[in-house]
Structure 1
Amino acid sequence: MTNASTNSTVPGALDDVAVLMPAFNGQADVERTLASFAEDAPIHVLIVDDGSTPPIVAPQLTGMNVEILRMPQNGGIERALKAGIDALAARGFRYAARIDAGDLTVPGRLAKQRAYLEAHAGVAALGMWAQVVTRTGAPLFMLSPPADPAAIRRLRFVRSPFVHPSMMLRIDAVQAVGNYRVAYRAAEDLDLFLRLMERYDCANLPEQGLFYEINEGGISATKRRRQIVSTLKLQLRYFNAANPYDWLGLAKNLLHFVTPYGMLQRVKRVLYAPRAGG
Structure 2
Amino acid sequence: MNDVAILLPAFNGQAELERTLASFREESSVRVLIVDDGSTPPIVAPSMRGLDIEVLRLPANGGIERALAAGIDALAARGIRYAARIDAGDLATPQRIAKQRAYMEAHPRVAALGMWTHVVSTEGAPLFDLTPPADPAAIRRVMLMRSCFAHPSMMLRVDAVREAGNYRAQYRAAEDLDLILRLMQRHDCANLPEFGLYYESNEGGISATKRRTQVLSTLRLQLRYFRAGNLPDWIGVAKSVAHLVLPYRALRRLKAQLLR
**TM tier, smaller:** over 0.9
Shift of the 220–82 alpha-carbon distance from structure 1 to 2, 3 Å rule, reads farther
| Matching of residue 49 in structure 1 with residue 36 in structure 2 | yes
The alpha carbon displacement at 1:216 in A equals: 2.7
| Aligned counterpart in structure 2 of residue 181 of structure 1, from 168, 183, 205 | 168
| Matching of residue 62 in structure 1 with residue 43 in structure 2 | no
Alignment of 1:100-249 (within 5 A): 100-218=87-205, 223-249=210-236
Does the 8 Å CA contact 1:174/1:196 hold for their aligned counterparts?
A: yes
Shift of the 132–220 alpha-carbon distance from structure 1 to 2, 3 Å rule, reads farther
Give 3-state SS (helix, strand or coil) of 2:49's partner. Answer: coil
- Measure, in 2, the Cα distance between the counterparts of 1:137 and 1:55: 27
The alpha carbon displacement at 1:54 in A equals: 0.5
- Measure, in 2, the Cα distance between the counterparts of 1:212 and 1:106: 11
| Aligned counterpart in structure 1 of residue 252 of structure 2, from 227, 251, 265 | 265
Partner of 1:29 in structure 2? 16
Shift of the 112–221 alpha-carbon distance from structure 1 to 2, 3 Å rule, reads farther
TM-score, length-normalised on structure 1?
0.92
Alignment of 1:76-91 (within 5 A): 76-91=63-78
Could you list the per-position Cα deviations for residues 56-98 of structure 1 after superposition, in whole angstroms to 9, with x for gaps in the alignment?
Answer: 1111101111000011100000000000000000000000000
Does the 8 Å CA contact 1:39/1:111 hold for their aligned counterparts?
A: yes
Could you list the per-position Cα deviations for residues 98-148 of structure 1 after superposition, in whole angstroms to 9, with x for gaps in the alignment?
Answer: 000000000100000000000000000000010000110000000111000
The alpha carbon displacement at 1:218 in A equals: 4.3
- Structure 1 unaligned residues grouped into runs of 5+: 1-13, 274-278
Q: Which amino acid aligns with 2:259?
A: Y
Shift of the 138–147 alpha-carbon distance from structure 1 to 2, 3 Å rule, reads same
Partner of 1:9 in structure 2? none
Partner of 1:7 in structure 2? none
- Measure, in 1, the Cα distance between the counterparts of 2:61 and 2:239: 32
Shift of the 69–205 alpha-carbon distance from structure 1 to 2, 3 Å rule, reads same
- Measure, in 1, the Cα distance between the counterparts of 2:110 and 2:31: 22
The alpha carbon displacement at 1:268 in A equals: 1.6
Shift of the 171–220 alpha-carbon distance from structure 1 to 2, 3 Å rule, reads farther
Indicate the percent of aligned positions where both proteins have the same amino acid.
70
| Matching of residue 252 in structure 1 with residue 239 in structure 2 | yes
- Measure, in 1, the Cα distance between the counterparts of 2:232 and 2:64: 29
The alpha carbon displacement at 1:25 in A equals: 0.5
Q: Over aligned residues, Cα RMSD in angstroms?
A: 1.0
- Measure, in 1, the Cα distance between the counterparts of 2:109 and 2:115: 17
Question: Which shows bigger deviation, 219-228 or 62-71?
Answer: 219-228
Give 3-state SS (helix, strand or coil) of 1:210's partner. Answer: strand
Give 3-state SS (helix, strand or coil) of 2:185's partner. Answer: helix
Give 3-state SS (helix, strand or coil) of 2:203's partner. Answer: coil
Partner of 2:85 in structure 1? 98
Could you list the per-position Cα deviations for residues 13-67 of structure 1 after superposition, in whole angstroms to 9, with x for gaps in the alignment?
Answer: x110000000000000000000000000001000000011111111110111100
Paired residues, number: 260
The alpha carbon displacement at 1:155 in A equals: 0.4
- Measure, in 1, the Cα distance between the counterparts of 2:205 and 2:230: 32
The alpha carbon displacement at 1:266 in A equals: 0.8
